């Protein structure tokens, strides 16, 4: 399977294109970019320096991947953007390279769906099988797990974490860590509204896991206990359930605090 490159596109000498790559009209690819097999750039896509894109990605019109970070301290260093496999990036998504403040890499995992205008800032690390709806945004240094769902115009503050299977409602602004498995909703004062029961059932989670998360959430945030006491009680009663154990570990690892109910 040979590559297809539209005559209006500009592919700098040195760019590495895998087998079966398709590049539509008016795209620009930097000399230091790497694009994996069967990835499609539909049109007007810009792939910047030191950007590595995996296989079978579908990148739509006006996406910009791998331009420099929006950080006043950035001085043109050769930081990187790494994108995994089978991602769908709809129109006008922006994914920026890292700064030099951590490990010089911004990354997006596999099988993610980023809708129109979604944004990943510098130094973000995003896992697998996440959905970011229109204009959802991650500020710099955000850590996002797997299977998360962000509704339109939701945003996460820099250095926050988002746990696996988290759900964020439309226009939600998260300035602290977003709990795994929970529904988090709110503009300037976001709150956790408990377990995303319907979403977890659709994903095949067991009744034991869902009930355990529900009980743990009540103990942690609605029992009136001190945090240490609530954590100990939740651990003692439901810590044997893997999902609850992960929730408790996520809370213990928080540096910014978590969004509570």
For residues 134 and 151, is the Cβ–Cβ distance under 8 A? Answer: no
Burial code (b: 16+ CB inside 10 Å, e: under 16) for 65-98 equals bbbbbebeebeeeebbbbbbbbbbbbbbbbbbbb
- Inter-CA distances, 22 with 90, 98, 221, Å: 16, 27, 51
Taking only the tens place, the pLDDT of each residue in 33-73 is 999 999 999 999 999 999 999 999 999 999 999 999 999 99
Whole-angstrom distance, CA of residue 116 vs CA of residue 56: 19
Residue 29 has pLDDT above 80, yes or no: yes
Q: Please state whether 181 falls in left (phi above 0), alpha (psi between -120 and 50) or beta.
A: left
For residues 20 and 3, is the Cβ–Cβ distance under 8 A? Answer: yes
Whole-angstrom distance, CA of residue 144 vs CA of residue 174: 12
State in Å, rounded, how far the first CA of the chain is from the last one. Answer: 53
Domains of the chain listed by start with CATH number: 4-199 (2.160.10.10), 206-252 (1.20.1180.10)
Average pLDDT over residues 91-103: 98
Residue 198 has pLDDT above 90, yes or no: yes
Catalytic machinery residues: 122-123, 140
In the chain, pLDDT over 90 holds for what percent of residues?
Answer: 98
Taking only the tens place, the pLDDT of each residue in 210-260 is 999 999 999 999 999 999 999 999 999 999 999 999 999 999 999 999 998
DSSP assigned state of 130: -
Query: What strands, in cross-sheet order, belong to the sheet with 40-41?
Result: 4-5, 22-23, 40-41, 58-59, 88-89, 113-114, 131-132, 149-150, 167-168, 182-185, 191-195
Residue 188 has pLDDT above 80, yes or no: no
pLDDT confidence of 189, banded at 50, 70, 90? confident
Query: Which ranges constitute the DSSP H helices of 119-161?
Result: none
Average pLDDT over residues 179-205: 94
For residues 246 and 166, is the Cβ–Cβ distance under 8 A? Answer: no
- Partner residues linked to 162 by β-bridges: 144, 178
In the chain, pLDDT over 70 holds for what percent of residues?
Answer: 100
């Amino acid at each position: 399977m040979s590559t297809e490159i539209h005559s209006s596109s500009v592919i700098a000498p040195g760019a590495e294109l895998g087998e079966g790559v398709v590049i539509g009209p008016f795209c620009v690819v930097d000399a230091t970019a790497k694009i994996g097999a069967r990835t499609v750039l539909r049109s007007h896509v810009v792939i910047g320096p030191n950007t590595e894109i995996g296989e079978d990605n579908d990148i739509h019109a006006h996406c910009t991947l791998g331009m420099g970070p929006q950080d006043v301290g950035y001085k043109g260093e050769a930081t990187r953007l790494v994108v995994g496999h089978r991602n769908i990036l709809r129109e006008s998504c922006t994914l920026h390279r890292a700064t030099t403040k951590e490990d010089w890499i911004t990354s997006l995992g596999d099988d993610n769906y980023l809708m129109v205008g979604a944004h990943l800032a510098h130094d973000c690390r995003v896992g697998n099988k996440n959905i970011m709806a229109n204009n959802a945004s991650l500020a710099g240094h955000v850590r996002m797990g797997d299977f998360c769902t962000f509704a339109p115009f939701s945003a996460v503050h820099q250095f926050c974490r988002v746990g696996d299977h988290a759900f964020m409602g439309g226009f939600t602004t998260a300035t602290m860590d977003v709990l795994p498995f929970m529904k988090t909703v709110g503009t300037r004062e976001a709150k956790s509204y408990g377990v995303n029961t319907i979403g977890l059932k659709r994903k095949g989670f067991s009744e034991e896991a869902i009930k355990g998360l529900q009980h743990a959430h009540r103990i942690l945030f609605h029992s009136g206990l001190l945090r240490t006491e609530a954590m100990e009680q939740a651990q003692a009663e439901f810590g044997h359930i893997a999902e609850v154990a992960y929730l408790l570990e996520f809370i213990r690892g928080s540096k910014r605090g978590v969004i509570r109910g």
